[in-house]
């Protein structure tokens, strides 16, 4: 996609995604939902990713195999705030799973968003399948797969690298690792011998790079570069984004704000204010607007029905 | 006249020419070998994958997500175990996405004992497979069902596990694909590949194939009878029919049911038969603990309790970690024809 970098648009989407995640966390700590898991702190990378997706249904468009930390990508793609809130609230109106799955487990057929799953690695094994179908189809649709640093320890990550660059079968696939340096409570370096995950791609002959995922401009440009290669040259690229984890892993670790981590939203706001692209007051208004939108969405979701018990067998088979 | 390997090949050829199958893949599935059991010889869309079962199942799921109709193979079901969470995922994708994303994929794998396969080429898988909701589960015993059910599996919009007993792959039976040449040598000349060193320029000569299918979920009554019902599938099934024929000479009347599809299970055929006979034996090769036959017997107890004249019996594999290579070991570990005969005789003699 040849869209120009638009910092104000990106800031707004980052603020919107953050407001959503913070509302979801509050819901998990109240009677408005159960388990929370998400990706606050990854907005500077995930929003540009969403903006650069070729959105649509079928082989001509991008196929997306996300993990449960991609809410900012979906917000950037245009998901209305209320839908993840409905999923958090287990409402029958949850369009992704009708109250069956955790929040962040998006599934949107008309945008090729394949069902997000709780296992942290399986998407890496499935993604080459859509990419192979796209290779055969032609066009410029690509497959994008995301996962975390901890999930890269699973064999599926090696499967993805191995199947993506077979001679004469090179796949149009962007293999992303968002590295927040933790698997739940376990520091990456305490259980891994390597330091740069994306470098593993080199052994498979796959081009790779690392980007500061707290910097939206660097992320945008690097994603645009990597996607350009995958789209035009129909071959794989592995990109590691080093990002922050602002509220821990999930509800299981309390989901409290982690003060020692860099906050891309605060950093980006300073950049824009210092460059006179936005005033502090404008930034505050943007954040308040989305906080209000999230609260209104919650109030609406509360009024909507839970799924009927009688629906449990629906959709086991098509 | 086709054997099971040929029947599978013919159904896959129908799939790649008429039903939109663009990918038939797995370890050694493509040329030059065409499958360790020859099931994929000569197919235009067969290709070799890395030796990576999780990659194979993942590729099949991804292709199905992209609207393709993949047929993937796990070379022996003994090697499917490291894919179980991907099988779970394939089974739950439609449900978890509220019906949005269905997966029209077929996973084939040979199962069971009987080829001196020892510990890692003799496993059964149906008890575990039927414990993974969201899949349709097939286990055939003859070429006609192999063809007809594989065609149905390819057409189905859901994940289908197609299992076939490796011990019966080369057996010619009376259950044949309609419209196919009766002469096995003629068929072999047309579609069996020559030896590997003489294969590079070989092309099969495909016969006209019928768009013939057997519906998933329908059992078959192989022999009608009124004294005992024997329910089986896969490798022991031909033995059950032989036992029924032999006992008919002694004026016993044995009804043999080939389930063919294990999920969804054909409750009605089972209910009708057991309500008639009041006596039932379930025969399979899988290990006896948490065996799929126990599920069948539970259903029978619920559906037919007041018709039963004797306790239902499960004749299954010994609950051992593997099948031993030496003949006396293997024969003691999975039911043989003599075991089926003896179990049927004692069931006939059980007092009501």
Which residue on chain A is closest to B49 by alpha carbon? A163
What per-residue confidence (pLDDT) applies to A312? 98
Task: Output the DSSP codes for B198-211.
Answer: G-TT----PPP---
Mean predicted confidence (pLDDT) in B10-21:
98
In three-state secondary structure terms, B348 is: helix
Which residue positions in chain A have pLDDT lower than 70?
Answer: 1-2
Backbone torsion region of residue B45, taken as left when φ is above 0, otherwise alpha when ψ lies between -120 and 50, otherwise beta = alpha
A7-203+213-237+258-302 folds as Rossmann fold (3.40.50)
Catalytic residue, chosen from B13, B16, B27, B53, is B53
Mean predicted confidence (pLDDT) in B9-13:
98
User: Is residue B347 scored above 70 in pLDDT?
Assistant: yes
Mean predicted confidence (pLDDT) in B255-276:
98
C-alpha–C-alpha distance, residues B297 and B267, integer Å: 11
Task: Output the DSSP codes for A230-259.
Answer: HHHH---EEEEEE---TT-SBGGGT----T
C-alpha–C-alpha distance, residues B23 and B70, integer Å: 5
Which residue shows structure tokens 């495909």? B206
Percentage with pLDDT > 90 across chain B: 95
Residue among B176, B166, B161 nearest B127 (CA): B161
Q: What is the ipTM of this complex?
A: 0.97
* Closest Cβ opposite residue A316 in set B57, B68, B95: B95
User: Where are the domain boundaries for CATH 3.40.50.970 in chain B?
Assistant: 4-198
E runs forming strands in chain B: 24-26, 46-48, 71-73, 106-111, 136-139, 160-165, 220-223, 228-232, 254-258, 261-263, 280-287, 313-317
pLDDT band at B87 (very low <50, low <70, confident <90, very high): very high
What per-residue confidence (pLDDT) applies to A253? 85
A89-124 exposure pattern, b = at least 16 Cβ within 10 A, e = fewer? bbbebbbbbbbbbbbbbbbbbebbbbbbbeebbbbb
**pTM score of the predicted model:** 0.97
- Are the Cβ atoms of B95 and A100 closer than 8 angstroms? yes
- Are the Cβ atoms of A130 and B133 closer than 8 angstroms? no
- Mutation for testing the A interface, residue in B48, B62, B63 having most A CBs under 10 Å: B62
- Per the annotation, the verdict on B246 as an active-site residue is no
Note whether B344 contacts A: Cβ–Cβ < 8 A: no
pLDDT band at B289 (very low <50, low <70, confident <90, very high): very high
C-alpha–C-alpha distance, residues A200 and B105, integer Å: 31
Mean predicted confidence (pLDDT) in B262-283:
98
Q: Does domain B220-349 have CATH number 3.40.1190.20?
A: no
Backbone torsion region of residue B118, taken as left when φ is above 0, otherwise alpha when ψ lies between -120 and 50, otherwise beta = left
Cβ-based contacts of B216 with chain A (< 8 Å): none
Give the number of C-alpha atoms closer than 13 A to the C-alpha of residue B332, restricted to the C-beta side. 7
Question: Max CA-CA distance within chain B?
Answer: 65
Note whether B81 contacts A: Cβ–Cβ < 8 A: no
Segments in A34-110 forming alpha helices (H): 43-52, 71-77, 82-88
C-alpha–C-alpha distance, residues B46 and B36, integer Å: 13
The CATH architecture that domain B4-198 belongs to is: 3-Layer(aba) Sandwich (3.40)
Cβ pair A126, B62 in contact under 8 A? yes
In three-state secondary structure terms, A315 is: coil
Strands A186-187 and A182-183: antiparallel
- Per the annotation, the verdict on B224 as an active-site residue is no
* Closest Cβ opposite residue B52 in set A129, A162, A316: A162
In three-state secondary structure terms, A210 is: strand
Q: Which residues contact A309 (CB under 8 A, 6 or more apart)?
A: none
Task: Output the DSSP codes for B8-42.
Answer: HHHHHHHHHHHS----EEETT-STTT--TTSTTTT
pLDDT in tens, B169-202: 999 888 899 999 999 999 999 999 999 888 989 9
- Are the Cβ atoms of A132 and B95 closer than 8 angstroms? no
Note whether A138 contacts B: Cβ–Cβ < 8 A: no
Cβ-based contacts of A125 with chain B (< 8 Å): 54-55, 57-59, 61-62, 86
What per-residue confidence (pLDDT) applies to A232? 98
Note whether A283 contacts B: Cβ–Cβ < 8 A: no
Mean predicted confidence (pLDDT) in B38-43:
98
Q: Where are the domains of chain A?
A: 7-203+213-237+258-302
In three-state secondary structure terms, A195 is: coil
pLDDT band at B91 (very low <50, low <70, confident <90, very high): very high
Instruction: Give the minimum alpha-carbon distance from A311 to chain B in angstroms, rounded to a whole number.
Output: 10
Which residue shows structure tokens 């057929």? A109
What per-residue confidence (pLDDT) applies to A2? 57
Which residue on chain B is closest to A160 by alpha carbon? B55
- Are the Cβ atoms of B58 and A126 closer than 8 angstroms? yes
Q: Which residues contact B42 (CB under 8 A, 6 or more apart)?
A: B9, B13, B34, B191, B193, B202, B203, B204, B206
Residue A199 burial (C-beta neighbours within 10 Å; 0-12, 13-18, 19+) = middle
CB atoms within 10 A of CB A277: 12
- Are the Cβ atoms of B98 and A131 closer than 8 angstroms? no
Cβ pair B243, B237 in contact under 8 A? no
Q: What is the DSSP letter of B136?
A: E
Which residue on chain A is closest to B70 by alpha carbon? A129
E runs forming strands in chain A: 63-65, 143-148, 165-166, 169-170, 173-179, 182-183, 186-187, 207-212, 237-242
Angle between helices B53-65 and A122-137 (to 10 degrees): 50
- Calculate the alpha carbon distances from B220 to A281, B59, B333 in Å: 76, 34, 27
Instruction: Give the minimum alpha-carbon distance from B62 to chain A in angstroms, rounded to a whole number.
Output: 4
pLDDT in tens, A63-97: 999 999 999 999 999 999 999 999 999 999 999 99
Residue B172 vs residue B225, higher pLDDT? B225
Cβ-based contacts of A307 with chain B (< 8 Å): none
User: Is residue B263 scored above 90 in pLDDT?
Assistant: yes
Backbone torsion region of residue A283, taken as left when φ is above 0, otherwise alpha when ψ lies between -120 and 50, otherwise beta = alpha
User: Of all residues in chain A, what percent are helix, strand and coil, respectively (each to 5)?
Assistant: 45, 15, 40
């Amino acid at each position: 996609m040849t869209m120009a970098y638009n910092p104000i648009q990106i800031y707004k989407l980052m603020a919107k995604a953050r407001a959503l995640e913070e509302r979801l966390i509050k819901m998990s700590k109240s009677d408005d939902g159960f388990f929370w898991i998400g990706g606050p702190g990854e907005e500077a990378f995930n929003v540009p990713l969403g903006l650069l997706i070729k959105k649509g249904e079928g082989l001509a468009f991008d196929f997306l195999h996300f993990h449960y930390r991609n809410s900012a990508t979906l917000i950037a793609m245009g998901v209305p705030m209320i839908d993840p809130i409905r999923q958090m609230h287990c409402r029958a109106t949850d369009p992704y799973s009708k109250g069956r799955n955790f929040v962040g487990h998006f599934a949107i057929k008309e945008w090729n968003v394949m069902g997000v799953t709780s296992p942290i690695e399986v998407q890496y094994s499935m993604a080459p399948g859509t990419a192979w179908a796209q290779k055969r189809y032609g066009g410029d649709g690509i497959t994008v797969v995301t996962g975390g640093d901890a999930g890269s320890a699973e064999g599926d990550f090696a499967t993805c690298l191995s199947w993506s660059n077979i001679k004469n079968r090179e796949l149009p696939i962007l293999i992303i690792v968002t590295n927040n340096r933790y698997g739940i409570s376990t520091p990456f370096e305490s259980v891994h011998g390597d330091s740069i995950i994306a470098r593993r791609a080199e052994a498979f002959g796959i081009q790779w790079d690392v980007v500061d995922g707290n910097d939206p401009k660097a992320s945008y440009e690097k994603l645009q570069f990597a996607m350009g290669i995958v789209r035009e040259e129909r071959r794989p690229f592995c990109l590691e984004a080093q990002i922050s984890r602002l509220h821990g892993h999930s509800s299981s670790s309390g989901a409290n704000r982690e003060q020692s981590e860099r906050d891309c939203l605060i950093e980006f706001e300073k950049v824009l204010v210092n460059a006179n692209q936005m005033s502090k007051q404008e930034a505050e208004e943007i954040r308040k607007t989305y906080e209000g939108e999230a609260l209104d969405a919650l109030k609406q979701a509360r009024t909507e029905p839970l799924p009927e018990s009688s629906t449990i067998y629906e959709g086991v088979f098509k | 006249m086709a054997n099971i390997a040929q029947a599978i090949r013919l159904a896959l050829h129908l799939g790649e020419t008429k039903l939109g199958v663009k990918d038939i893949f797995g370890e050694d599935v493509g040329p030059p070998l065409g499958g360790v059991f020859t099931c994929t010889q000569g197919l235009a869309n067969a290709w070799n994958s890395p030796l990576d079962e999780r990659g194979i199942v993942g590729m099949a799921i991804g292709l199905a997500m992209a609207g393709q109709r993949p047929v993937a193979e796990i070379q022996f079901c003994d090697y499917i175990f490291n894919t179980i969470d991907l099988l779970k995922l394939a089974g739950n994708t439609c449900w978890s996405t509220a019906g949005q994303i269905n997966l029209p994929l077929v996973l084939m794998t040979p199962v069971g004992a009987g080829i001196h396969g020892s510990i890692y080429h003799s496993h059964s898988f149906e008890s575990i497979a039927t414990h993974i909701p969201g899949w349709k589960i097939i286990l055939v015993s003859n070429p006609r069902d192999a063809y007809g059910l594989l065609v149905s599996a390819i057409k189905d919009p859901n994940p289908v596990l197609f299992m076939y007993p490796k011990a019966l792959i080369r057996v010619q039976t009376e259950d044949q694909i309609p419209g196919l040449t009766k002469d096995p040598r003629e068929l072999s000349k047309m579609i069996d590949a020559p030896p590997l060193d003489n294969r590079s320029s070989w092309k099969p000569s495909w016969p006209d194939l019928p768009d013939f299918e057997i519906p998933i979920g329908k059992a078959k009554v192989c022999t009608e009878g009124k004294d005992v019902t024997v329910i089986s599938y896969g490798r022991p099934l031909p033995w059950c029919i032989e036992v029924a024929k032999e006992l008919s000479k002694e004026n016993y009347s044995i009804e043999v049911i080939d389930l063919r599809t294990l999920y969804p299970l054909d409750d009605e055929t089972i209910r009708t038969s057991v309500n008639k006979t009041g006596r039932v034996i379930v025969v399979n090769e899988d290990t006896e603990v948490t065996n799929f036959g126990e599920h069948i017997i539970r259903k029978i107890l619920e559906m037919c309790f007041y018709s039963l004249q004797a306790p239902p019996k499960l004749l299954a594999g010994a609950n051992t970690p593997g099948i031993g290579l030496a003949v006396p070991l293997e024969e003691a570990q999975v039911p043989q024809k003599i075991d089926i005969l003896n179990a049927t005789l004692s069931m006939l003699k059980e007092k009501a």
